[in-house]
Chain A
Amino acid sequence: MNHLISIEELDRADIERIVAQAERFAEVADREIKKVPALRGRMVLNLFYEASTRTRSSFELAAKRLSADVVNFAASGSSVEKGESLKDTVLTLSAHKPDAIVLRTPWAGAAELVSRWCPAAIVNAGDGKHEHPTQALLDVYTLRQRMGEIDGASIWIVGDVAHSRVARSNVLAFQRMGAHVTVAGPPTLIPRGIEQLGCEVRYTLDELHTADIVYALRMQRERMTDTWVPSLREYASWYQINGRRLTPRQVLMHPGPVNRGVELSGEVVDSPQAVITQQVEAGVVVRMAVLYELLAVAREPRSDGAGAAPGSLAAPAPAASAADAMPAPVAEPVLEGRPA
């Protein structure tokens, strides 16, 4: 695996391998010294064209726990505001020879595009409303921690599906892992044709009780001014996940940040059914696993400095065992991938 661009390009084995690696890294967080030397001397560049605190800091923490050097580059206040194109920004930053670029942009396909322009491993941290693959991976990880396998589970993704990259990545990832996915929300916020991803579509929460897992999406306030729904009040009365709608056996997820009183009522956020803070925790170990996968395990040698061919997200040979792939905490760092 040379890049992580989308869940669409991953199969179940890829997802399971990354999640398993994250489980091995979870132990690091409990140590007094929360660091392994696996990526010592490697550079991870965070290039963010959209405001983000949790995703960016999660990637930063993940890279630092692997002993990589981290450079943060925010588009605001930079050359981007002086009119520099994405391509020129990437080429300029590439001159510093980052091993990985974590990229968030408001444009679908931008991560894929950047992977053609520079030799670094590209991690898509959100490309427009298209995908946010590390969010989906950490959500799968969180569910496995909570309930084991999700084969056959029913997962409802509720809210503004149209403007959500989290929804798109999760519809794909949950299905890859054997779950049945239903998307539900106001008809104005469910894109025409979404059922072709394999999910069911509902416009009410009448059957929400059939779900094993309820995944609420953030209702962005700016969508309100654009008359996608008549009012937040009406939205909340039809689609808010609250104590009345959530049954005790259901698990509640949310990508954050939560609008209390809009998509979630306060009492469900604070309930033991909610795994929202576990999702945040999972973010660091899953992103460690992604960076490790891209930079330490399966980085294919490059002769010309060019990116791998687009669409070449083929599954590499999986690590044979946990002991092989797991960097020894104190001994020599594992820098080389296992032979295929």
Chain B
Amino acid sequence: MSAKQPLIGGLQAPAELLLRDVHALDPRTGLDARRDVRIRNGQVAELAEPGTLETDGEAQTLEGEGRLRLLPAFFDPHVHLRTPGQEHKEDIGSGTRAAAAGGFGAVIAMPNTDPVLDSAPLLRSLRDAAAREARVPVGVLPAITRGLQGEQLTEMAELRQEGALGFTDDGRPVRSAGMLRKALQYQRLCGGVLSLHEEDPTLSREGSMHEGAISAALGIAGIPTVAESTMVARDAALAGYEDARVHFQHVSCADSVEALAAAKARGFRISAEVCPHHLLLTEEDVRGLDTRMKMHPPLATEADRVALVDGLRAGTLDCIATDHAPHAREEKEVPFEQAPMGTTGLETAFAALYTGLVAPGVIGLPLLVERMTAGAALFELPTPSIALGTPANLTLVDLDAEWVAGEDGWESRSENCCFAGRRLQGRVLMTLAAGAIVHRDRALASSQDGELAGAR
């Protein structure tokens, strides 16, 4: 029923580019081989054996030396672009530049802005801004309830006609089961995925971190994992009862994975995302009270982390989302309990996961790429792929390149990244989104004559 293009914005400069001898990997088609790839007018025009394509007037040629990996561009179903109202944290331009720098070809923006994105005029205005300012295409999830108050549904049908991909009250749960049920029923009219932030506020209360030994030692109010898992179980049951399409955001603990697996086994139409920080960090990382480690849901135990990795491998967790949540320096430079929840993540997601999970052999690169691109289909969008005749949605990465996160600054307006200062392996060299080159690493930008060299 969506009447308008759900993704909007992105650079309008069709790429003309020859990628020579890159190692192309597309886990869905089984492509995993060295190729020459010609991009003409923003489309994948030729895929050929390495060393067989010659330059044909393209402005740019890049030598992959059989080493650089060409992947489908990543898709992030959960970012906070902070527009309108909180542009001191992020705006559409800076947020989508951060996405491009992280290899993402499209993102979905959350509605907990100021004002809350809960009406058609606001959605139109945001999409107009995205059309002008976004570097990569942006989809939008307006609110399920007006003002995120949990009391009255937004005009979901009109919002869908104006291009809403779905709906979410992210940042808050839909507390009332009865209210959520109405939204699930209304979905039969208007479609669109309902994307849920799961938290029982009577359990999470004023908590600032995971409830456990470390919160007990620090004297900081803890958030028990059951604050999430009981709501996941409740809403999965509701989704099953109404045969509704529901997506669970930022799943953070073993109990939630178990609840999701049980609901999926019953054939419910549910999906789930997991964040890089929950896959890589634990409550131990909060011990020093670094406010960059404060996010919602909180970092949990090592057993929870392992269960999330297992859930990702098994497919119980369908995709990776960053929950990129920028906050200004002064907002985070306060005592831990006062700091707002959230970490940025777009610029470090691939490298952090490659470093933490793929390089040590915990999961394979094809699985990581699959999960970093799977979000598109969950929101009824075409999956990025490396296929002839499709718009170039591609990411070129150097898996051998090492860098220190944040060392050269950030594209994001904010610097509250939980991986800042860590040595990461794997660097995005170039991103193409909707046929345009939207990011070039400085290693490429500094080469001469428009010739792009893969050398580090």
Contact = CB atoms under 8 A, between A and B. Distances in A.
Interface in B323-364: 330, 333-338
Given A108-B336, A109-B335, A109-B336, A193 B220 contact: no
Interface in B211-226: 211-222, 224
A269 interface: no
Contacts of A168: 217, 219
Interface stretch (A12-20, A94-102, A123-131, A248-256): A123-131
A105 interface: yes
Interface in A76-108: 85-87, 105-108
Nearest to A196: B213
B218 A193 contact: no
A34 B364 CA distance: 72
A192 interface: yes
A69 interface: no
B216 to A, nearest CB: 4
Contacts of A109: 218, 289, 335-337
A112 B217 CA distance: 15
B5 to A, nearest CB: 43
Interface centre among B211, B212, B220 (most CB of A within 10 A): B220
Nearest to B214: A193
B218 A108 contact: yes
Contacts, number: 72
B334 A192 contact: no
A324 B282 CA distance: 48
A113 B335 CA distance: 7
Nearest to B217: A197
Given A109-B218, A109-B289, A192 B337 contact: no
A110 interface: yes
B265 to A, nearest CB: 30
Given A112-B289, A192-B222, A193-B211, A107 B337 contact: yes
Nearest to B336: A109
Nearest to A161: B216
A165 interface: yes
A74 interface: no
B127 to A, nearest CB: 35
A194 interface: yes
A329 interface: no
A128 B288 CA distance: 15
Nearest to B205: A226
B77 to A, nearest CB: 33
A107 B219 contact: no
Contact of B330 (A85, A194, A310): A85
A290 to B, nearest CB: 21
A106 B221 CA distance: 12
A86 B335 CA distance: 8
Given A107-B335, A107-B338, A108-B289, A196 B216 contact: yes
Contacts of A192: 211-212, 216, 222, 224
B338 to A, nearest CB: 6
B288 to A, nearest CB: 8
Contacts of A152: none
A107 B337 CA distance: 6
Contacts of B215: 191, 193
Contact of A197 (B216, B224, B330, B338): B216
B216 A130 contact: no
Contact of A85 (B211, B222, B334): B334
Contact of B216 (A85, A165, A191): A191
Interface of A: 8, 85-87, 105-110, 112-113, 127-131, 164-165, 168, 191-194, 196-197, 310
9 contacts: A86-B334, A105-B335, A107-B338, A108-B337, A164-B219, A192-B212, A193-B216, A193-B217, A194-B216
- Complex A-B, nearest 10 residue pairs according to Cβ-Cβ distance, in ascending order: A107-B335, A129-B219, A193-B213, A196-B213, A193-B216, A109-B289, A130-B219, A191-B216, A110-B335, A194-B216
Given A8-B217, A191-B216, A193-B216, 13 more contacts: A87-B334, A105-B335, A107-B337, A108-B220, A109-B218, A109-B335, A112-B289, A127-B335, A128-B219, A168-B219, A192-B222, A192-B224, A193-B211
Interface of B: 211-222, 224, 288-289, 330, 333-338
